[in-house]
């Protein structure tokens, strides 16, 4: 996004991060925002804001670690702000899969491509047991940054999101042009 703070870019009249927050709030008991810039602006959204405890913008896992350190529940669900239409039952479906299999992590997979032949994990959408904090600390201390690498090490359950509309629900916005086009589709 050309250096712009993605979470503060407007989507249908409000910042992308606020859209994600409002979409997630009905699905969980409590929310927080992981951000490393423009903290006073994020604080106006009415939930706690956490910053990475690891220097150098270490990626999504650093934000997950910061959220784990603040989380007061056994499960933490992470969602990115750049997927504005994620499923309204994301939390319930991931929790059901995790509990059914005894997994400590559940990650959605979505089929894409012609005929939907390939199931792609969506690892930034991650339901994780907060007791994995030490494991995540160790992973990051080794310089590792890949969400799926850590998740696989923990025996993550990949959860097919294959209901009608699921592939479109996971479409993400990576450029200001894509965001403008989506805003124009109203």
Within the chain, which residues score under 70 in pLDDT?
1-2, 113-117, 186
- Cα 47 to Cα 18, 76, 99, 157: the distances in Å are 10, 15, 28, 29
What does the pLDDT read at residue 181? 76
Which of 132, 136, 124 has its CA nearest to residue 90?
124
- Cα 93 to Cα 28, 62, 68, 125: the distances in Å are 12, 25, 21, 12
What does the pLDDT read at residue 180? 79
Q: What is the pLDDT of residues 126-141, one digit of tens each?
A: 999 999 999 999 999 9
- 3-state percent helix, strand, coil for the chain, nearest multiple of 5: 40, 15, 40
What does the pLDDT read at residue 116? 57
What does the pLDDT read at residue 186? 58
pTM of the predicted model as reported, rounded to 2 decimal places: 0.92
């Amino acid at each position: 996004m050309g250096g712009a703070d993605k979470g503060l870019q407007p989507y249908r009249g409000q910042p992308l991060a606020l859209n994600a927050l409002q979409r997630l709030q009905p699905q969980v008991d409590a929310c927080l925002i992981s951000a490393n810039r423009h903290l006073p602006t994020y604080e106006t959204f009415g939930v706690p804001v956490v910053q990475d405890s690891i220097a150098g913008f270490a990626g999504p896992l650093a934000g997950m670690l910061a959220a784990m350190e603040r989380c007061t529940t056994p499960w933490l669900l992470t969602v990115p702000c750049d997927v504005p239409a994620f499923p309204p039952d994301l939390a319930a479906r991931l929790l059901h899969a995790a509990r059914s299999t005894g997994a400590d992590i559940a990650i959605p997979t979505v089929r894409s491509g012609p005929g939907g032949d390939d199931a792609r994990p969506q690892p930034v959408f991650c339901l994780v047991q907060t007791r994995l904090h030490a494991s995540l600390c160790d992973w990051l201390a080794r310089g590792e940054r890949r969400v799926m690498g850590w998740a696989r090490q923990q025996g993550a359950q990949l959860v097919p999101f294959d209901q009608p509309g699921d592939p479109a629900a996971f479409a993400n916005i990576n450029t200001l042009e894509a965001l403008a086009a989506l805003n124009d589709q109203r």
